[in-house]
Chain A
Amino acid sequence: MKRLLAAAFAALSLMFSQTAFSQTPPNVLVVGQIAEPKSMDPATVTAVNDFRILMNLYDGLVRYKSGTLEVEPALATEWEISEDGKTYTFKLRDGIKFHDGAALDAEAVKFNFDRMLDENNPYHDTGPFPLSFFFSAVDSVEAPDAQTVVFNLKEPYAPFLSNLAYPTGLIVSPEAVKKHGKEFGRHPSGTGPFKFAEWESNSKVVVEANADYWDGAPSLQAVVFRPITDANTRVAEMLSGGIDVMVEVPPDNLATFASDANSKVYEQAGPHLWFLILNAKEGPMADKRVRQAVNYAIDKKALVDNVLQGTAEVAAGPTPPAFAWAYNDKLQPYPHDPDKAKALLKDAGADGAELTFYVTEGGSGMLDPVAMGAAIQADLAKVGLDAKIETYEWNTFLGKVNPGLEGKADMAEMAWMTNDPDTLPYLALRTGAFPDEGGFNSGYYSNPEVDKLLEEARRETDQAKRAVLYKKMQEIVRDDAPWAFIANWKQNAVTSARVEGFELQPSFFLLLHDVKKN
């Protein structure tokens, strides 16, 4: 018995003594992700979580300039847009090879878009491609010569370049797709600064440096992406040195890291909007005054400061300030004015109205939906509006909200992260975007002027002119208050002090090309 105890003790001390294991290896960056990635095929994924890995494995024809949402050359060196805005001609960079050795040429680019958009393409079954509608304006793609790609659009589509910079537009190696077919998602091959090394399900995705990268080899030797779904565990790993980079830090833990000498905290406003869809078709919310009252009743500052711990800014209108060129900075958010709210309600005869409020438990970009829902409920109660919360798990929630709120609820939480000021309003504020037409306008907001502005802006290829149109749209929408505009998320990240050159991008992408680790 004693010998048994002694042996056990020895084994235990051996286990505990290997603290060296806790430290991550030098020049290998370990990133704590919030979920297990779905696939390494950029055309098939929709979540930011996946984008973070993919932006390091692939390049697109264009990319966002660092620190902005403006487009700059990447795989394409230059491009020309025809007068009518329907033809885009790109010149490709010379001498780029995919990780598997195949050459990047116009045929390869054409292959990518044919696969995604043409239902009859033999490789269309490697999908589904949920975000292919970003390129629904594309009629055909041509490859007149090895370095030239021509896109023929059905109609002018201003967001096209921006969408090309988005992960859905990343270029994958046709050879790899042909070789692996449906399993391409597990055997990716792109042109990016890092090469895919391995993917151990639910454990790690490892990518290694691509020494031949056209834009210069990265400093890091490798990057390991670790999915840690539980926020607490992620924090624990960060604190114990198990990961070097952590994104989407829970607001309450931000303070802990800020005061920790071994960590650096980063914050960056992003193109994100958290809002309440209001049912403009029926019920109390059909009246504009009631909708405005809701905006006045909610103490957005308190929400943002206290519930979200300062990790977001109060939103003024439908367009996040991150779209700097299109944002109407003269717009003021609805101030917190319960008295005004009560007055409006009285006018509209909606005093003491009962509301059904859909709240969700989670979801990409939803921040802290349960806590925010509770706080909003309390704020509304203070002006005499009785909001009954119905909470649903994310997928169920989407299944209830996206088909439209008619007959179900008066208000529902929602959040969007987009890459172009066109996307959200086009999909969710137009009359032509009602759910039964395939859009996301679940609140049935309809304003023909807004519709006109959006259609025009979409076709307008001159950015300055576009900006004017969007700014006007924001004014109208803010006044009409189809939504309760609550917050723009400031995405955050924490890295260990050993990490240098790390920057958060407004696009929410995690670009690791220039990152160093000591």
Chain B
Amino acid sequence: MWIYIGKRLIATVPILLGLSVIVFGMMALIPGDPATAILGSYATPENVERLNSQLGLDKPLVEQYFIWLGNLLQGDMGRSYALNRPVADEVFERFGATLVLAGASLILCSIFGLIAGIAAAVRQFGWTDRIVTFLVLIGISTPSFWLGLLLIMLFAVELQWLPASGMFAIYGGGGPLDLLRHLAMPAVTLAVVATAVIARLTRAAMLEVLRQDYIRTARAKGVSERRVIYRHAFKAALVSVIPVIGIQAGFVLGGAVYIETVFQWPGIGRMLVNAISTRDLLLVQGGVLVVAASYVFFNLIADVAQTIVDPRLR
């Protein structure tokens, strides 16, 4: 098991390296440069050139890349041009916030998705199934950014039950309850699509499993129906669902940009959007690296979980 994990971790290194090259290349292709972003309206070509030179951006791209790589290996992710702050500080702060949001969403979507999927499969063609199928369709068809805005309008402005934005109350805030109140809407909005996907998949997997011979055997043994569903069928279905949860984790990590924008969640998705817009190369590099690494890591966890559930994979 550990050897397997070790091998997988080592295999991620070339992927991360490849990514860093792609990002460097991509940022090079984007017209504009950090100096223009910093100088704003006062960006004359002369000022820009001077600033670029100060920031070390006039060196050839390949050289810049290796400088960055060298620094990275020594634990230094560089300094953000636009924010004038060490990249590592910014990236890990923002990433922490995203992890909280992503974590909450994942928990929500896993729980509700699995429950809904099981309920629909067990009462196939009954009302539960129809309602779940319907809700799933709504879930995968709703634009999340639109939904977020509607929720804010309803819960924050009209009813004033929940705060409209941010991660903590601005004064005297902090603490888990405060966090939960701020987390409620963004996590739910983010979880909607993932829940639908997981519910749909769980239902299909459960139906598939319930057709199997070993379910018949379980019934023939006189096992209670509840045990048949939740222990026999669900465990087998889980094997197919786990990789999807892994994929949703990745999606939620890097793709929560709309949610972060609408709810002003200080997450890494929005940081990256801004960083691209301000041509903050080092920040983009750092951010993409961290997100990609975590994505790979989550997939690894999903694979390991799958192996734990299904001994045939070992």
Direct A–B contact present (CB less than 8 angstroms):
yes
Identify which of A14, A232, A435 contacts B45 (C-beta below 8 A): A435
Q: Is the CB of A395 within 8 A of B84?
A: no
Identify which of B38, B40, B46, B83 contacts A128 (C-beta below 8 A): B38
Q: Is the CB of A44 within 8 A of B163?
A: no
CA distance A241 to B178 in the complex (A): 16
Q: Is the CB of A203 within 8 A of B44?
A: no
Chain A residues with Cβ below 8 Å from B177 are: 14-15, 18
Chain A 1-51 residues near chain B, CB threshold 8 A: 14-16, 18-19, 21-22, 24-25, 28, 30, 38-39, 44, 46-47
Asked whether B266 is an interface residue with its Cβ less than 8 Å from the other chain, the reply is yes
Chain A residues with Cβ below 8 Å from B47 are: 130, 133, 438
CA distance A431 to B265 in the complex (A): 47
Q: Is the CB of B45 within 8 A of A436?
A: yes
Chain A residues with Cβ below 8 Å from B203 are: none
Residue of A nearest to B164 (CB): A236
Q: How many A-B residue pairs have CB under 8 A?
A: 161
Identify which of B41, B44, B90 contacts A439 (C-beta below 8 A): B44
A180-213, CB under 8 A of B: which get 1 and which 0?
Answer: 0010011000000000000001111010000000
Chain B 80-119 residues near chain A, CB threshold 8 A: 82-85, 90, 93-94, 97
Asked whether B140 is an interface residue with its Cβ less than 8 Å from the other chain, the reply is no
Chain A 357-410 residues near chain B, CB threshold 8 A: 363-365, 393-396, 398-400, 402-403
Interface of B is mostly: helix
Q: Is the CB of B44 within 8 A of A435?
A: yes
With A233-B263, A403-B45 as known contacts, state yes or no: A226 contacts B170, CB within 8 Å: yes
Chain B 36-54 residues near chain A, CB threshold 8 A: 36-48, 51, 54
Chain B residues with Cβ below 8 Å from A21 are: 163, 169, 173, 178, 181
Kindly provide the distance from the CB of B83 to the nearest chain A CB, expressed in whole angstroms: 7
Asked whether B166 is an interface residue with its Cβ less than 8 Å from the other chain, the reply is yes
Q: Is the CB of B262 within 8 A of A46?
A: no
Residue of B nearest to A243 (CB): B170
Identify which of A46, A240, A241, A435 contacts B40 (C-beta below 8 A): A46
Chain A residues with Cβ below 8 Å from B127 are: none
Instruction: Give chain B's interface residue range (CB within 8 Å of chain A).
Output: 35 or more
Asked whether B75 is an interface residue with its Cβ less than 8 Å from the other chain, the reply is no
With A24-B170, A236-B157, A364-B40 as known contacts, state yes or no: A402 contacts B45, CB within 8 Å: yes
CA distance A203 to B184 in the complex (A): 18
With A395-B278, A398-B41, A403-B45 as known contacts, state yes or no: A128 contacts B54, CB within 8 Å: yes
Q: Is the CB of B45 within 8 A of A395?
A: no
Q: Is the CB of B170 within 8 A of A203?
A: yes
CA distance A25 to B170 in the complex (A): 10
Chain B residues with Cβ below 8 Å from A438 are: 44-47
With A236-B156, A396-B31 as known contacts, state yes or no: A39 contacts B165, CB within 8 Å: no
Q: Can you identify 24 A-B contacts, CB atoms within 8 angstroms?
A: A19-B160, A39-B84, A127-B54, A128-B54, A130-B51, A201-B266, A202-B93, A202-B271, A203-B168, A204-B170, A228-B264, A232-B262, A236-B157, A237-B164, A239-B157, A240-B164, A242-B165, A365-B41, A395-B37, A402-B43, A415-B41, A435-B44, A438-B44, A438-B47
Q: Which 5 A-B pairs have the closest CB atoms?
A: A202-B266, A438-B46, A236-B164, A399-B32, A16-B161
